[in-house]
Structure 1
Amino acid sequence: MSDVQPVHPTGAPAISGRLLGTAVAVVVVMLLLAYLVAFDQGAISQSGEYLHELMHDGRHLLGVPCH
């Protein structure tokens, strides 16, 4: 028989709940920003074309068609 004992995890999570919450919040904000820059054609902004014109150069920089 071998004297090697199996290693049991201590039960500590690999990632904290606070870090996980922060990561999820950052992903949601980045997805919302990507939608606003790339796809919004005035559906979210109440002023119609204002957001479209504000993000116009960003669309062309990313190669997203907007015309």
Structure 2
Amino acid sequence: MKTIPKASTLHSWRKSTYSENISGGCVEVSDGYAGGVPVRDSKDPDGPALVFEAGAWASFVGAVRRGSLPA
């Protein structure tokens, strides 16, 4: 897995529709990155981003939508 040390160098961040704004802990994803899907913690926009392979990210999102992740 690749890491981008300073996530704020990327643009087009959007919050996950599954994030809860109550605690302020949100996952954000950046679109249009050629090397995969960058993901960061919205509480630390200048912190690192993890970059997942597109297929792995699609599998994860599918599992979330189906509700098939373990509790």
Is TM (by shorter chain) over 0.5? no
Which fold has the larger relative contact order, with Cα–Cα distance below 8 Å and residues 6 or more apart in sequence?
A: 2
TM-score w.r.t. the length of structure 1 is 0.26
TM-score w.r.t. the length of structure 2 is 0.25
Query: Greater strand share, 1 or 2?
Result: 2
Highest Rg: 1 or 2? 1
Query: Greater helix share, 1 or 2?
Result: 1
